[in-house]
Structure 1
Amino acid sequence: MHDLPTLSSVAPGASGSTLLRLAPHQVHWIALRRGASLVAVEGTLCLTYRDVALVSAGHVAPLLARRIDEGERYPIEDRGWYGLSGAGREPAGVLIVPAATSPLIAMARRWIARASAWALRPTREGRA
């Protein structure tokens, strides 16, 4: 068994990742952005969330559940609230890797790339 911190002693690591340990059937809700990842480092993890397409239905929308076994990574595809819990009789350890950059920085990078491509496009022969 790994020596993981408990939920009460969660601290970000050097890279901004958070490592936490969940007791069996303990649920921890966390807001995650698109681009983040969850890595099951110990035991089996149950991930619970609502589909983004049904978010307008509010709490009436059904909860979806995914099982993440030890060693597997689950990429977060939509921003929202995710419930993490230990699925087996053993504690579960999960590494939460945040998204690489903020959405504003990603949007600025896309804009600069498009502007550069537009400025460097080949000119037509008829124009100087």
Structure 2
Amino acid sequence: MAEDQKVDTQLFQLLSNLLNQVEELTNQEEVELRSKIEALGLEVTKVPSKSTQHLNELEIAKELDKLSAKLDDVDEMISSAMAADPEVQSLLSGTADVWMPVITATADERRNFTASIGDDNSEKQAKSSSE
């Protein structure tokens, strides 16, 4: 773990040095980019807090039951909205390829999905700022 932090520190130091060079060459201060690099560096090197609450199997089962009940409520709301309004049914059916993978994804799949959307947004921003 210490080695990972060392690599992360080196990476963000490299990014900072590259940004300094770009600023020197362009004679423009890149405040927004610098703050993003610093924020990302802090986020990457953040140590997760330890859970103060240790749940036993019975408590975990109760929490899962609560989540299951909430999902049932959501399912009922969606079903009734679809039955009441054909436009809702059409909209949900037409966009299921977008929202279903997110709902049914594992936590790791959601993180990867979120990361890929962040990458797509970065590319779009880079394109629009270069135009």
TM-score by length of 2: 0.23
Larger helix share, 1 or 2 = 2
Larger strand share, 1 or 2 = 1
